[in-house]
Amino acid sequence: MDGKLTGRALGDIVDAEKKAELLQKLAEEEGISLQQVIAVGDGANDLPMLNLAGLGIAFHAKPTVKRGARQAISSLGLDSILYLLGVHDRETLA
């Protein structure tokens, strides 16, 4: 290889099923239920993960992903997730 691009991929390919599997494994390792998990994604390969999580959010996603997810954010930043959790501005300013 000697620092040259080869076109070969190293490691596992993380597809839709693998993302959902990793989400479930992480929840188990942390000792929390999937209902306590928040997942955020923007692509169709994120839908299984988003629908597995208690709060799955399509973030600036394409129309197909928005329709497939239970929640979607399209015009605000990631901090808007705090509003979905019931956290208000006055609580985040410290």
Beta-bridge partner residues of 57: 40, 71
CA 56 – CA 17 distance, rounded (Å): 15
* Tens digits of residue pLDDT in 22-47: 999 999 999 999 999 999 999 999 99
H-type helices in 3-88, by residue range? 16-30, 47-52, 63-68, 81-84
**Domain boundaries of the chain, sorted by first residue:** 16-85
Structure pTM? 0.81
Is the pLDDT higher at 27 or at 3?
A: 27
CA dihedral 36, 37, 40, 46 (to 10 degrees): -130
Is the pLDDT higher at 87 or at 56?
A: 56
**For position 91, what pLDDT does the model report?**
59
Hey, what CATH topology would domain 16-85 get? Answer: Rossmann fold (3.40.50)
**For position 90, what pLDDT does the model report?**
65
CA 94 – CA 92 distance, rounded (Å): 6
Chain mean position to CA 10: 23
